[in-house]
Amino acid sequence: MTQRGPSGLLGAYDSGGFFCEVFGGPQHPATHTTTVRERLDGLSLAELRRRAQAAERELYNLGVTFTVYTSREQIDRILPFDVIPRVLSAAEWDTIERGVIQRVTALNRFIEDVYHEQKILREGIVPADLVLGNANYRPQMRGLKVPFGNYVNICGVDIVRGGDGRFCVLEDNARTPSGVSYVVENRHLTQRAFPDLMRNIGVRSVSNYGQRLIGKLTELASGIGADPCVVLLSPGVYNSAYFEHVFLAREMGVPLVEGRDLIVRDDRVFMKTTRGLQRVNVVYRRIDDDFLDPEAFNPTSMLGVRGLMRAYRLGNVVLANAVGTGISDDKAVYAYVPRIIRYYLDEEAILPNVETHICREAEGLAYTLANLEELVVKPVGESGGYGILIGPHASRKALAEFRHKLRADPGNYISQPVVQLSVCPTVTRSGIEPRHVDLRPFAVTGRSTWVLPGGLTRVALRKGSLIVNSSQGGGSKDTWVLE
């Protein structure tokens, strides 16, 4: 028996005053989700749970997992999957897509400038020491040309939506962003588990990501030859994102190699095959700069390839992403991105930043210290949600301790107001409840930029939590972009 209307599955749902991805906000009720809401309403909670469990078991069997290592054993975990999709209208997506393309374009222009003329630094738009003194600045990249001047070939832009329903950018991921495999796997899962929910709704496809990616990577090697050899370089099975590396290699149909499979001879890169050495032209590397080449960077790295940077500098191999892109997604540089966009493109940011206070500046530090209980404070060098202080949720003791840390090393921190992240109806133990979400669209750039429609919606599964990272109790949702 199915129940409909206010007594249906979503009947008791209350978004708690937050902007809701399915219901909209008080000023902007979402009209594009009517069909989805009606169909969800027709399902019972028990039925939804049954299908959700089956879906999660399938993820485990398929090995769509990340591996956690303890001293005793290895545990395969799935990224928890919530079956209620997050639905974006065509108009919403248009804004995001244009905003992401604009941002990636500006970041690429910025990196090219920094490694060549440094005009933006000389003109004082971005403080030179912030960039040149950054741990991710790579002097080895000075004067090196990369294909089409595009350094960030794969970019993940973390976007959140505030109480007013406006999208803004929380963070850029311009080094080796991960998560795209979940976008595709989540969609395949929804298609299998909820064909009735998707029927006759035009949802833009995400399953051609691999083809698009290999197309763009091949584009980067257009100077090299007709049929370039592209490989995906992974740290190996022990890396927590190994499943994604497998996924991408398979979707592209390219060899998944580790550092030990590659060798540099005469400043050219080869892979070791049963038939001897085979020339490699493009490396989509999922290894950080630091570990890429023990000769050029961290000398103790066992993951990289000795001599890779020499081959790279001579133009004998293309690396994607380019080396040294970490200067553009630094949390301190982030604050300057709207100015970077204005400087290179003479445009206003389509997707604004979250208001950011830079603690290395006296004004920013003073403001942060005075309003600590209202702010989110982030260390600039960390990722994965570690080391973050969320003022309104912190104890008095934690606030006092953080004040010490801030004063001791202000340059290490930025602060932002708490963004009231939008919510999405989510299956919880106590029924359908709102949980906070963000969105990471993926942009792929060769000659030009293409954005995968949708992206990874991460959901903070703990009630009230704003932290969506998988390492901190986050899950994910399928993200629908309507035609």
Partner 1 sequence: MNNLLARHAESIFWLARQVERANSTARILDVNETFSRNARGEHDWESVLRLYGDESNFRATGRKPTADAVLHFYILDDHNPNSVLSNVRMARENARALRPLISTEMWVQLNGFHSRLTRLRRPDLKVENLNRLCSYIKESCQTHSGITAETLYRDESWYFHQLGRAIERADQTTRLVDVKYQVLLPQPSDVGSPIDEAQWNTVLRSAAGFHAFRRVNPQSMSPSKVVEFLVFDRRFPRSVAASVLVANEHLGELRLKYGHTARRAASGLLRKLAASLAEDTATDLIARGLHEGLDEIQAELGGVTDALGREFFLLAETDEGAPSAGERPA
Which residues form the interface with partner 1 (CB under 8 A)?
A: 61-63, 229, 236-237, 242, 246, 249-250, 254-258, 260-261, 263, 265-266, 268, 270-279
Which C-beta is closer to partner 1: that of 247 or that of 291? 247
Among residues 248, 186, 245, the alpha carbon closest in space to that of 211 is found at 248
- Name, in order, each residue with C-beta under 8 angstroms of 206's C-beta and a sequence gap of 6 or more: 183, 184, 187, 452, 453, 454
CA distances from 314 to 140, 280, 284, 298 (A): 12, 14, 18, 21
Phi, psi of 329 (to 5 degrees): -110, 15
Which C-beta is closer to partner 1: that of 75 or that of 128? 75
Minimal distance in Å, beta carbon 191 to partner 1?
16
Minimal distance in Å, beta carbon 218 to partner 1?
14
Which C-beta is closer to partner 1: that of 308 or that of 358? 308
Cis peptide before 298 (omega within 30 of 0): no
CB-count exposure of residue 262 (10 Å: 0-12, 13-18, 19+):
buried
Rounded Cα gap, residues 153 and 398, in angstroms: 40
* Relative orientation angle of helices 242-252 and 209-220, to the nearest 10 degrees: 80
Q: Which residues pair with 397 in a beta bridge?
A: none
Minimal distance in Å, beta carbon 255 to partner 1?
5
Which C-beta is closer to partner 1: that of 223 or that of 464? 223
Minimal distance in Å, beta carbon 193 to partner 1?
17
Minimal distance in Å, beta carbon 280 to partner 1?
9
Among residues 151, 451, 174, 178, the alpha carbon closest in space to that of 320 is found at 151
Rounded Cα gap, residues 426 and 418, in angstroms: 22
Q: Which residues pair with 432 in a beta bridge?
A: 427
Minimal distance in Å, beta carbon 75 to partner 1?
11
Which C-beta is closer to partner 1: that of 93 or that of 242? 242
Minimal distance in Å, beta carbon 67 to partner 1?
9
Which C-beta is closer to partner 1: that of 242 or that of 344? 242
- Name, in order, each residue with C-beta under 8 angstroms of 366's C-beta and a sequence gap of 6 or more: none
Q: Give the chain's end-to-end CA distance (angstroms, integer).
A: 32
Which C-beta is closer to partner 1: that of 27 or that of 274? 274
Rounded Cα gap, residues 398 and 386, in angstroms: 15
Minimal distance in Å, beta carbon 254 to partner 1?
7
* Relative orientation angle of helices 90-115 and 337-345, to the nearest 10 degrees: 80
Which C-beta is closer to partner 1: that of 77 or that of 272? 272
Which C-beta is closer to partner 1: that of 256 or that of 341? 256
CA distances from 425 to 9, 189, 237, 298, 379 (A): 10, 18, 35, 45, 31
Rounded Cα gap, residues 330 and 334, in angstroms: 6
Which C-beta is closer to partner 1: that of 44 or that of 273? 273
Residue 429 near residue 22, CB atoms below 8 Å: no
Rounded Cα gap, residues 141 and 312, in angstroms: 10
Minimal distance in Å, beta carbon 443 to partner 1?
24
Minimal distance in Å, beta carbon 2 to partner 1?
33
Which C-beta is closer to partner 1: that of 279 or that of 393? 279
DSSP string, 110-140: HHHHHHTT-HHHHTTSS-HHHHHTSTT--GG
Minimal distance in Å, beta carbon 189 to partner 1?
14
- Name, in order, each residue with C-beta under 8 angstroms of 27's C-beta and a sequence gap of 6 or more: 164, 165
Which C-beta is closer to partner 1: that of 260 or that of 447? 260
Minimal distance in Å, beta carbon 291 to partner 1?
19
Token pair for residue 410?
């202000």
